[in-house]
Amino acid sequence: MRFFVALIVDGALAGAIYALIALGFVVVYKASRVINFALGEWLMLGALLVAAGLNALALGLAAALIVACAGMIAFAAAFNQLVLRRLGGRPVVSLLMVTLGLAALMRGSAAVLFRGIPSVIPLPIPQRTLEVGGLFLSTDKLVAAAVAAISVAVVTAVFRWSRTGVALRAIADDDGAATAVGIDVQRHLAIAWGVLGVVSVLAGTLWASVASGGVGLVLVGMKVFPVVVIGGLDSIPATLVAAVLLGVIENLVAGYLDPLLGAGFSSITAFLLVIAVLFTRPSGLLGRAAI
């Protein structure tokens, strides 16, 4: 029983980081209706920028995070201005192909630009194991999950209650009507992509710091697609629930089925779940049927 509970807790901690990544995806989708297939590469680039700041520029973690966030915001603004703005009104397939092309470009560029730079991102906390109610939890995972949860709460609050968040939701509902009432659609789309840039830095850093040698960030980005499909592309609360649920189920599968079916079977859990959900609830847990 203790092993079962430990798997659930560990999975929930991973699910908090999944939730942060998925939140960035959903904010962009709700504002721009762009399905970003380069999500894993955004995470990779954000983490590599932090690693470069730490290991190549000898910055502290806080300074490296600030520099990386600034770089990702600039990258997001340039992508929105130079690429997406010119594709306004084009078919969805065109936008999908653009993000796929961007993914390949980012992977190739990262291999050249960050060659030889260590990708280790240590958290500035003691590496200890805490015993809580008979469960042994590592401090780095607890801190990473806490930071992810706080980040999710902040982004969700901004999206729900701030003027910028209201404007983004208005654009998501009807961009023509939003323009008619004076909302600068392009500026707010740039903000949405900037949010994804910041989320990529935070989530990429957290995952790289607690899962070194584990699942690569590109694969982590791929796992978020089942999360947003399960939750419904337009529902932030359901997406957050689906992210934690995926983390828990994936960890249970890793603990119980991987020893029987082979190591790595848990990696396809997300995709098996999304197939099951598409058969039963095609619009997601709380998604609208219009999607």
Residue-wise pLDDT tens for the chain (291 aa)?
778 888 898 889 889 999 999 988 988 888 888 888 899 899 999 999 999 999 888 899 999 999 999 999 999 999 988 888 887 777 778 888 899 999 999 988 988 888 878 777 877 776 777 777 677 778 888 888 899 999 999 988 888 888 888 898 888 788 788 888 888 888 888 999 999 999 999 999 988 888 754 447 888 888 888 888 888 777 788 888 889 999 999 999 988 888 888 777 888 888 888 888 888 877 666 655 554
Domain annotation covers residue 65: yes
Ramachandran area for residue 182 (φ above 0: left; ψ -120 to 50: alpha; else beta):
left
d(Cα 54, Cα 71) in Å, to the nearest integer?
Answer: 15
Angle of helix 236-256 relative to helix 2-32, nearest 10 degrees, comes to 140
Rounded CA separation 66/72 (Å): 10
Residue 132 placed within a domain: yes
- 234 is a domain residue: no
Which H or E run contains 216?
none
In a domain, 277, yes or no: no
Answering whether pTM is above 0.75, one says: yes
Whether 282 maps to a domain, the answer reads no
Residue 254 lies in a domain: no
268: nearest Cα among 285, 284, 246: 246
Answer whether residue 286 is part of any domain.
Answer: no
User: Structural domain tally of the chain?
Assistant: 1
Residue type, 27: V
Return d(Cα 233, Cα 242) in angstroms, integer. Answer: 11
**In a domain? residue 242:** no
Domain that holds residue 65: 11-225
138 with 127: CB under 8 angstroms?
Answer: yes
- Provide the β-strand partners of residue 129: 138
- What is the DSSP annotation of 66-112? HHHHHHHHHHHHHHIIIIIGGGTT--HHHHHHHHHHHHHHHHHHHHH
Residue with tokens 């957050």: 240
* Cβ-contact 197, 69 below 8 angstroms: yes
DSSP one-letter code for 266: G
